[in-house]
Amino acid sequence: MATVTFDKATRQYPGNPTPSVDKLDLDIADGEFLVLVGPSGCGKSTSLRMLAGLEEVNGGRILIGDRDVTNLSPKDRDVAMVFQNYALYPHMSVAENMGFALKIAGVDKTEIDRRVKDAAKVLDLTQYLERKPKALSGGQRQRVAMGRAIVRSPQVFLMDEPLSNLDAKLRVQTRTQIAALQRRLGVTTVYVTHDQTEAMTMGDRIAVLKDGLLQQVATPREMYDAPVNVFVAGFIGSPAMNLVTVPVTQDGIKFGTHALQIDRAQLSGLGSSAIVGVRPEDVELTTNPDGLALTVEAVEEMGADAYVYAVPQDKSITLDGSGEGALAKPFIARTDGRKPPMKGSTIYVYPKADHLHVFNPADGLRVN
């Protein structure tokens, strides 16, 4: 087991004007489950492959423990890519299926036996070790395949979108199992996904990337409560955070008729407008004319809660911070499922004071 360090690691493909991964600095703790997440093309897979040794590093270094692996061949790095499909061999027992790669590596028999038994214990396969794969259920076979990676006891597990081919239900089931198994094994793991829910539910910490640049590394909680910029704010959380561009006056930020209380010093850095972020569950919703006036377009009743989809009546107010897609993207508020507002009615919304996110439209950075 080991720490992993990206030290200004850079990957630029020949012919590309910008790096795919740009001076990535990232320290991953021993035993940590770190998730690299971001939209397609953000550099998450490239980062993982740099660590695996599949992509050349054009600048900076990568360390596993205190060993500089930047120029080592993949097989000399002591990492296991767990995203491949493993074959199971019909004539070999479960124990042989799990241990044969060690035999190839020249590990002696007693050591192979010991590692196979340990892995079998973790995977609840002890009683099946002498059986052939045919005599196992589908689920057990999957665990044998996983055992192949575990017995190698690599310093780091690497997983590249391992759930992307599963259907939704199985994906949920499996992500819990991978996370639980990782915690039992305590092996440092780097996991790549484009799915922020997967990232939030699995990672000890999450690293969000965009355009080859690291945006933020934090625990899921920190990431959710204090995104460092508009991109992270909009990317993490489902349904996504509402991001509303509103005017800034001398009295503060005007969220419709509601003045948002914010530190003077923070206010001074802003120009004439601010992007206010509010998560659907942090919306104060009222019929009194206090806040931003919205027209309800749809209500989704979930039982205990309801999601209200609404659009600003003042058409100069843009959502999502970008000014584009304001029509396509409604404001979403979570409310009591027993008395949701009617479709077509007017509501007023403003952020709860202690769950307020304010970003500077100039650079997208958080100001509060």
Of 171-179, 235-243, 258-266, 294-302, which segment contacts other proteins by CB under 8 A?
171-179
The least distance separating other proteins from the CB of residue 194, rounded to whole angstroms, comes to 14
The least distance separating other proteins from the CB of residue 214, rounded to whole angstroms, comes to 22
Q: Residue from 30, 67, 88, 226 that binds other proteins (CB under 8 A)?
A: 88
Q: Residue from 103, 109, 114, 352 that binds other proteins (CB under 8 A)?
A: 103
For residue 351, give every residue at least 6 positions away whose Cβ sits within 8 Å of its Cβ, in sequence order, or none. Answer: 255, 260, 276, 277, 278, 282, 283, 284, 357
Of 47-55, 203-211, 213-221, 349-357, which segment contacts other proteins by CB under 8 A?
47-55
Dihedral pair phi/psi, residue 29, rounded to 5°:
-75, 160
Judged by beta carbon, residue 50 or residue 349, the one nearer other proteins is 50
Q: Residue from 138, 271, 303, 344 that binds other proteins (CB under 8 A)?
A: 138
Position 140 contacts other proteins (CB under 8 A): yes
For residue 144, what are its two tokens? 């044998």
Q: Residue from 4, 21, 119, 145 that binds other proteins (CB under 8 A)?
A: 145
Judged by beta carbon, residue 81 or residue 233, the one nearer other proteins is 81
Position 35 contacts other proteins (CB under 8 A): no
Q: Residue from 34, 52, 236, 270 that binds other proteins (CB under 8 A)?
A: 52
Position 142 contacts other proteins (CB under 8 A): yes
Evaluated on CA atoms 104, 107, 108, 109, the torsion sign reads negative
- Of 73, 77, 71, 78, which Cα lies nearest the Cα of 57? 71
The b-or-e profile of 106-118 (16+ CB within 10 A means b, else e) is ebeeeebeebbbb
Position 94 contacts other proteins (CB under 8 A): no
Position 85 contacts other proteins (CB under 8 A): yes
State the Cα–Cα distance between residues 271 and 111, nearest whole angstrom.
66
Position 161 contacts other proteins (CB under 8 A): no
Of 144-152, 195-203, 210-218, 352-360, which segment contacts other proteins by CB under 8 A?
144-152
- Of 175, 116, 109, which Cα lies nearest the Cα of 148? 116
Position 14 contacts other proteins (CB under 8 A): yes
Total residues at interface with other proteins (CB under 8 A) = 52
Helices (H), 131-209: 138-151, 168-185, 196-202
Dihedral pair phi/psi, residue 276, rounded to 5°:
-100, 130
Judged by beta carbon, residue 150 or residue 209, the one nearer other proteins is 150
Q: Residue from 10, 12, 174, 345 that binds other proteins (CB under 8 A)?
A: 174
Position 271 contacts other proteins (CB under 8 A): no
3-state secondary structure of 277: strand
Residues paired with 278 in a beta bridge: 242
10 Å Cβ neighbour count for 316?
9
Position 101 contacts other proteins (CB under 8 A): yes
Judged by beta carbon, residue 176 or residue 287, the one nearer other proteins is 176
**What burial class does residue 153 get, using C-beta atoms within 10 Å of its C-beta: 0-12 exposed, 13-18 middle, 19+ buried?**
middle
Span 214-243, contacts to other proteins by CB under 8 A: none
Judged by beta carbon, residue 73 or residue 250, the one nearer other proteins is 73
State the Cα–Cα distance between residues 302 and 195, nearest whole angstrom.
23
10 Å Cβ neighbour count for 330?
21
Judged by beta carbon, residue 55 or residue 282, the one nearer other proteins is 55
Dihedral pair phi/psi, residue 200, rounded to 5°:
-65, -40
State the Cα–Cα distance between residues 192 and 108, nearest whole angstrom.
34
Q: By CB under 8 A, name the binding residues for other proteins.
A: 13-15, 49, 52-56, 73-75, 81-92, 96, 100-101, 103-104, 123, 133-134, 137-143, 145-146, 149, 162-163, 165-167, 170, 173-174, 177-178
